[in-house]
Copies of this chain bind each other. A is one copy, B any other.
Amino acid sequence: MQYKLSDKVSSLKPSVIREIFKFCTDPNIIPLSAGNPAPEAFPAGEVAEISAKILAERPIDALQYSITEGYAPLVRQLTERMKNKFDSVKENDQLFITSGGQQTADFVVKTLCNEGDVVLVENPSFIGALNSFRSNGARLRSVDLQEDGIDLNALETALREEKNAKLLYIIPNFQNPAGLTTSWEKRVKIYELCKKYGVMIMEDNPYGEIRVAGEDVPNIKSIDEDGIVVYAGSFSKVIAPGIRVGWCIAPKEVAAKMIVCKQGSDVHTNIWAQLVADSLLRDYDFEAHLSRIRSIYRGKLQLALDTLEKNMPSDFTWTRPQGGLFIWCTLPDGIDMLDFCKKAIENKVAVVPGNAFLVDENVPCNNIRINFSTPTDEQLVKGIEILAKTLEDMR
């Protein structure tokens, strides 16, 4: 059969990262490419303990159908926590459970955009979200990212030019892939600009709680008195990604439609995982757990930065994140980026080519993304040394 595929999927390609990820099941490859949290940060013992208790005491609760909005006690706990700790649940907001942060991107674009409507995104940005928007027929327009967040002039130009812009997608903390954090001043201005042009904001914050240096910057959601921000939270980096549990905070009217979209997709999030997350927050010292994993990430990030400093030539540069999982590197002039990535793989180190994070991946790009959470300390050091050697060999 000659398949007639929809316009929105015709040009869709699998995420380079997830494709490289498959490749990384080869144990001989040092994975500086994935976005995997450090396995030693997982509360594996606690999850086993909680799971055993649930499956012994109330197995049906963990196995039967549940409601789309999520397990009510978990929804209540998260609502309280997001309200009290981050002032991020406003009076007209509803919090519901998602199967990971990315589901928020899927449902918010479905709820706000007709085919051809525009989503503004940071340049570079998280490829998973970009693909999510594309697969729902949205057109993407990128706005350059600066050290302290999106370029405000370019954002206003884009807002003025794109009459069908419906959503701005940003990752304000330790952005994926750039590792940069949007300053408080810029957050306020981004909010005001979007409000002025009647464009909603999706604030994606999977890394906010793994800050390892500097001061917390309040969420954009905390100033959302106008109900224009849809906030995506996730347990992937603070509990474990395999359980696929996140949450979304959105104005009730928007949340109601997103929840119907979820009914029509996976019906509800795996309920065992919701019960486990609920108990971890309720019966254990979650703040102590966060401190523990922050100290793991602090060590790994510092090791990565120190090893880059020690091995890389002065014309190879990189960002200095204060949290998250990623460092964004710029190759020296004259080094072909894709060529470098290929040679790195031949030398058994996987990194992600920077153009994977661009709206148009054919635009010239001399960046790569390095992840420091997945590899062991030994792999991290060896991997960066190999990258330095690869670079040297290419000169």
A208 to chain B, nearest CB (A): 19
Tell whether A63 pairs with B241 under 8 Å between CB atoms, given A6-B110, A14-B259: yes
* A226 & B1 in contact (Cβ 8 Å cutoff): yes
How many copies the complex holds: the figure is 2
* A244 & B265 in contact (Cβ 8 Å cutoff): no
Collect the chain B residues with CB atoms within 8 Å of residue A267's CB.
18, 100, 102, 128, 241, 244
Residue A114 interfacial (CB < 8 Å): yes
Tell me the nearest residue of chain B to A244, going by C-beta: B270
In the complex, what distance in Å separates the CA atom of A269 from the CA atom of B132? 16
Residue A134 interfacial (CB < 8 Å): yes
Collect the chain B residues with CB atoms within 8 Å of residue A265's CB.
99, 102-103, 106, 132, 135, 265-266
* B244 & A68 in contact (Cβ 8 Å cutoff): no
Collect the chain B residues with CB atoms within 8 Å of residue A124's CB.
none
In the complex, what distance in Å separates the CA atom of A272 from the CA atom of B55? 13
Q: Which of A276-327 contact B (CB under 8 A)?
A: none
A165 to chain B, nearest CB (A): 11
Residue A394 interfacial (CB < 8 Å): no
- The digit string for A52-76, where 1 denotes a CB below 8 A from any CB of B, is 1001100110111111100000000
* B263 & A14 in contact (Cβ 8 Å cutoff): yes
Q: 10 A–B contact pairs at CB < 8 A?
A: A4-B198, A5-B257, A8-B110, A18-B263, A99-B265, A100-B266, A131-B260, A241-B267, A242-B270, A266-B266
Q: Top 3 nearest A-B pairs by Cβ distance?
A: A132-B264, A63-B240, A48-B55
